[in-house]
Amino acid sequence: MGEDVALWSSLPLPGLLLDPDDRIADINPAAEGFLNASARALAGQPVWDKVMVDAPLDAAFARARSSASPLFVNDVDVGTGERPPTQCNLSVAPLQDRPGYMLLLISPRELAGRITQTQSVKSAAKSAIGMAEMLAHEIKNPLAGITGAAQLLSMNLGPEDLELTDLIVSESRRIVGLLEQVEQFGNLSPPDRQPINLHDVLDRARRSAELGFAGAMRFEDDYDPSLPLALGDADQLVQVVLNLLKNAAQAAGEGGGTIRLRTYFEHSFRLRRSDGSGQALPLQVEVADDGPGLPEDIKGDIFEPFVSGRENGTGLGLALTAKIVSDHGGWISVDSVPGRTVFRISLPMAKPPGAGTGSKERS
């Protein structure tokens, strides 16, 4: 019995045990994280009230139960009521020693795709950094000469011609500003990771945003007061949150909207990388807005350099955000539907050397 419990708790995929009436008999820790609820709170609840599948499964599920045969359903949207639907694969199998009981395994497709995100972001960042260094050197020096020449010419020109030289100067300065953004992306120093309070980070970013670009936005917060300290660079993480807040404010437009900041602890979340190493990332930060959502054509590439959903966007803000989170050993994801976009950051906990985590890996 002890081995069965250990196996159930160690299962990296969300798993639910269903009774003959399709009520939840038990869930594993990974499912607690996926559904954002405890096994005790969900016990006895109708499963399809808590796991919302965008597919007609009733007949197939009933056949699987009556014939005691497994059922596999691929590429369906699964919602929980707490967050936008996620594309998943479902596996259903009868329990051999308990007639009528079924085991439901949920395999979120985003996990398989995003586990390699850290490596792809770093690879894309290296390419962008090399180009940034070349562009900064090759373009900024000639631009300084163009700007100086235009200013010299303007000293002896009339009002009509001054308009042209002013245009040259202003546009040259705009290009320099763009190059400085690229340089910022390329020259970011490694994080100085220390034990920090994530709520202090969120409050610093929120105050700065409220006084500037997010003045028209309404803020809500849902903080876990018992959240442990994170291991991170406070200044760099403030920049991460500011980038996400700016993204939300720009999406809302002049009419404003609502930004919701949320923190919580997900003890079962552990990121396993391609080299076999892993790290517990139990600290979760969410930045949610009620804007129009991300364009469908860029959802899968939103963290790549030079991908932007805005007409005049540089596509560096979210790429820089992903790079900083990656350098922290963390993980960032986004769920977006019209009316609700949620960026989620998962970070390591600052803990005494040698302390165990008890976390389960996700792969």
Residue 274 CA: distances (Å) to CA of 101, 112, 117, 118, 120: 36, 11, 10, 10, 11
- For 39-51, letters b (16+ CB in 10 Å) and e give beebeeeebeebb
Residue the block writes with tokens 């900041």? 261
- Pair 189, 142: CB distance under 8 Å: no
**Range ranked top by mean pLDDT from 129-133, 167-171, 217-221, 350-354:** 217-221
- Pair 221, 259: CB distance under 8 Å: no
Could you report the per-residue pLDDT of 150-198, keeping only the tens digit for each? 888 888 877 777 888 888 888 888 787 777 766 665 555 788 899 999 9
Specify the pTM. Answer: 0.56
Token reading at 270: 């552990």
Q: Is the pLDDT of residue 269 over 60?
A: yes
Bridge partners, residue 18, by sequence: 24, 102
Could you report the per-residue pLDDT of 59-89, keeping only the tens digit for each? 888 888 888 888 888 878 888 766 667 778 8
Q: Averaged over 94-102, what is the pLDDT?
A: 85
Residue 195's pLDDT is 95
- Residue 51 banded pLDDT, cuts 50, 70, 90: confident
First to last CA, the chain: 26
Q: Is the pLDDT of residue 47 over 60?
A: yes
Token reading at 312: 């005049």
Average pLDDT, the chain: 79
